[in-house]
Amino acid sequence: MRYRLAVPVILLLVLGFGAAAPAEAQSWKTVAKSRQRRGQDFLDVKINYAVGRFELKRGSDRLLYRLDSKYDEEAFKLTSSYLESKGRGSLRIDIEGHEEVDLKDLKDYDFEAGNLSVDLTGATPVVLAMKFGAAEARLDLGGLRLQNLVLETGASDTHIWFSETNRETAEHCSFKAGAAQFRVDNLGNSRCERITVSGGVGTLSLDFSGDWDHDATGDINVGLGTIEIAVPSELGVRVERSTFLMSFDAPGFEQPKIT
Amino acid sequence: MLKQMRLAALVLAGVLVPAPLVGQAAQTVDEIVQTAIVLSEDEASLDLELVDGRSLQIRLIDGTVLIDGREAGVYRPGGALESAWRSFLRGTSDGEFEPALTGFAGADLAADEAAAVSIIEALAPFLVEGSAEIAATVATEESVEAATEIAATIAEAAAAAAAATAQLEALDEVVAGGLVVELSELEGLAGSLGRIGLAPELARILNTDIDSPVRIVIEADEYVLPEGAELDQTLILVETDGVLAGVVTGNVIVADGSLMIAPTGRIDGEVVAIDASIHNEGTVIGGLREAPHIAPVVVAPFARHVRVRGGPPSIANNIAMGFGSLAKTIAMYLLFGFLGALAVYFFRGQLETVSDTVSYSFGRSFLAGLAAEVLFVPVGLVMTVLIVTAIAVPFYALGFILLGLLGYISVAHAAGENLTRHRFAWPSRMRRSNSYYYVLNGFGVLLALFAGAAITQMAAPLLGWAHDLLIVSAWILTWVAATSGLGAALLSRAGTQRKYARPGELPELPADTFTRDMPPTDAGARARRAEEKGDEI
């Protein structure tokens, strides 16, 4: 319970301690960028987002990607690049603090007002790697053609869901949560063959409901946090656990008799 | 003046853009592959990339209209043009691909702003039919000259971009992760690499051996140059495993990584390995050599920016560093105090035996500890070589560490006990005869020099010499204590034998130790104990 309280406190400290800051102290810059889909057969996406609100979802299939961002150019720097070779595209989006700016010194600062929104095509296979610092992230990965997913969060409040079935079979989905609230819904729609979840200090919630048309293995490691795993009653699950100073409750599960 | 005339000509051209061009602008939807719109307090810009590699950038920034970096007019910040342009860009960013450049501004513009608008609108056909068509739309000779100049610049840039793309596609190399840096100017690179910690040997090679463009791949998981691909550059792999199946016309330098040259691979220059392994099945015309001085390459993974500051640290820095050192010392004291308390609670008998061994056989303990330290590595190697004992190597190492820790705590206990004995008279000593007290006081003694060094660090300009002296003394004291403690732990078999602890005497037991828990080990002591019991009766 202590960590459930701790994560919002961390987020408040990092994101919102300057919510009442005067707007004129910040120099906002908005960037909108989009690229037409023209026969690309693969897209490698890497996103590194330091502080703010982040959204990702499926967009129009006419576009390969679209990004909209608002950030303070005095404190942060947006770098986005797209390279393509023989139909294979590589998209890099990076929003980081300026090296000469120490974010800890920016008192009365409205970090929360910054945002990044990314739309990806549902028509091209995508490999997605994302890294968040202190961000509030909302990701609807449903309907994409996701082949691989790597997500790493710091002190973030992250909610991921698969509103539709993944249109590809994903080889590996890896989630690494730091001091964070971390929630994934409808993992059954992800069509991930291997799911790796690693939690530090925070609350993790994994919901395995969705359209299960495949077998999957998962490896879940939790440090000092708590984790809640919800599995549909009709789904057969084999659990191997190893705990140290942690309790493990599995209400509603029935252990099959081994004959 | 000529520029103003050109502007005027282009204004005319813009005004004269015929209605059909508006229709042509509508065709740009399929021609534009990428749009980028930037809006900030002092900038409003549109960046378009066309399907044939051409690009167009229109920026309104700080009162100036820039088209592909060329000044094309002026505007008043906050005026009608800027408002119209921002509104147009917002509308474009909300949609997808409809940046028709015509008709975005109203008619109530000042003359200079209207000029800039006309230039922007004049570029509309460029999006459809190419730069040559711009010239065709203008009427006067000067306008043609100005438009041709713009068109030539854009076409040149497009050609260069196309050539670069073609080169990249022909190369078709695969780099997994890491950072790729391409350089054509090497002056100063070696010094920069040296400053961020790259090996001096690599810096020396960069200074002397390279006379062609350089491609540096840093910390990539894998670098592959496939069969048929050709790299007309010097290739440097830093902390990267590479596979070369194609042709490299320059040199290849591998630092702290590995390189496999496939049978189809050919390197016209030489291959230099710096702390790297090379497996060659292909052709290396320039030969293969290892750098004579092997030095590790250090690339700090998170140190993306390096700052070099000159001059001595300030007084504030010295005080801050001193407080930092003091805090570390206090943290160490608390940690060791905690471990010591645990040891007293669970292993009091053994701890006191080792402590007594240190006190009464200090020289022997120190020599035994020294011998153990010297023999630790050879014995470990022998165990590793012998298959039967190899499995026990981790336990051997762990045992050594635990013995050392027990010994160090015991030395603290002994130091605390001796301090108490010499400092207080008998009645006070009895009140303080407590193993927890001994251990905490002992660690205070052992870490006092570190604390003193931290305090003198705060006055470094005056007491720098004292700080250096204290820190050296502190480390020597720590080493002597750990060594003798280790030796005592060994001599007493981890505190189970009192052969070297007060031989022939009854140990002076702390007040909080029950006498019955520790029976005397020799006859004389047993006799004295029996006598004491008789007196009590």
The whole-angstrom distance between B34's CA and the closest CA on chain A is 4
A31, B38: Cβ pair inside 8 Å? yes
The whole-angstrom distance between B49's CA and the closest CA on chain A is 9
Residue B371 is which amino acid?
A
pLDDT score of B170? 57
**B93 to chain A: closest CA residue:** A32
Q: Is the pLDDT of residue B508 over 60?
A: no
Is residue B500 within 8 Å of residue B491, measured between CB atoms?
yes
Tell me what the mean pLDDT of segment B409-438 comes to: 76
B226 part of contact set with chain A, CB < 8 Å: no
Q: What is the pLDDT of residues A167-177, one digit of tens each?
A: 999 999 999 98
Q: Pick B36's closest partner by Cβ from A31, A63, A86.
A: A31
Window A:64-123, CB contacts with B under 8 Å: 66, 68, 73, 82, 85-86, 99
Residues 6+ apart with CB under 8 A from A15: A51, A52, A111, A112, A134, A136
Q: How far is CA B220 from CA A47, B96, B159, B298, B301, in A?
A: 18, 36, 31, 14, 11
B39, A36: Cβ pair inside 8 Å? no
**A31 to chain B: closest CA residue:** B38
Residues 6+ apart with CB under 8 A from B230: B170, B171, B246, B247, B248, B249
Q: How confident is the model at residue B138 (pLDDT cuts 50, 70, 90)?
A: very low
A30 part of contact set with chain B, CB < 8 Å: yes
Q: By mean pLDDT, which of B10-24, B71-85, B283-297, B321-335 is the weakest?
A: B10-24
Q: Is the pLDDT of residue B500 over 50?
A: yes
Q: By mean pLDDT, which of A79-88, A208-217, A246-255, B226-235 is the weakest?
A: A246-255
* Signed CA dihedral, A40, A44, A50, A52: sign only: positive
Tally A–B CB contacts below 8 A.
Answer: 52
pLDDT score of B303? 33
Q: What is the pLDDT of residues A4-39, one digit of tens each?
A: 444 444 444 444 444 434 444 678 889 999 998 888
A27, A31, A91, A96: best mutation site toward chain B, by most B Cβ within 10 Å?
A31
Q: Pick A36's closest partner by Cβ from B36, B37, B97.
A: B97
Kindly state the percentage of chain A with pLDDT values over 90. 35
ipTM rounded to 2 decimals: 0.79
Q: How confident is the model at residue B305 (pLDDT cuts 50, 70, 90)?
A: very low
B29, B35, B98, B175: best mutation site toward chain A, by most A Cβ within 10 Å?
B35
Q: How far apart are CA B531 and CA A69, in angstroms?
A: 89
Q: Pick B36's closest partner by Cβ from A33, A63, A86.
A: A33
- The closest of B250, B292, B252 to B275, measured between CA atoms, is B292
A34, B32: Cβ pair inside 8 Å? no
The whole-angstrom distance between A36's CA and the closest CA on chain B is 5
Residues 6+ apart with CB under 8 A from B64: B71, B73, B74, B75
Q: How far apart are CA B337 and CA B343, in angstroms?
A: 10
Strands B64-67 and B55-61: antiparallel
Q: Is the pLDDT of residue B511 over 60?
A: no
The whole-angstrom distance between B44's CA and the closest CA on chain A is 10
B473 part of contact set with chain A, CB < 8 Å: no
B305 part of contact set with chain A, CB < 8 Å: yes
Residue B22, both tokens: 């508006």
A-chain residues near B168 (CB < 8 A): 85
The whole-angstrom distance between B191's CA and the closest CA on chain A is 21
B45 part of contact set with chain A, CB < 8 Å: no
B172, A30: Cβ pair inside 8 Å? no
Q: Is the pLDDT of residue B179 over 90?
A: no
A-chain residues near B32 (CB < 8 A): 36
The whole-angstrom distance between B161's CA and the closest CA on chain A is 12
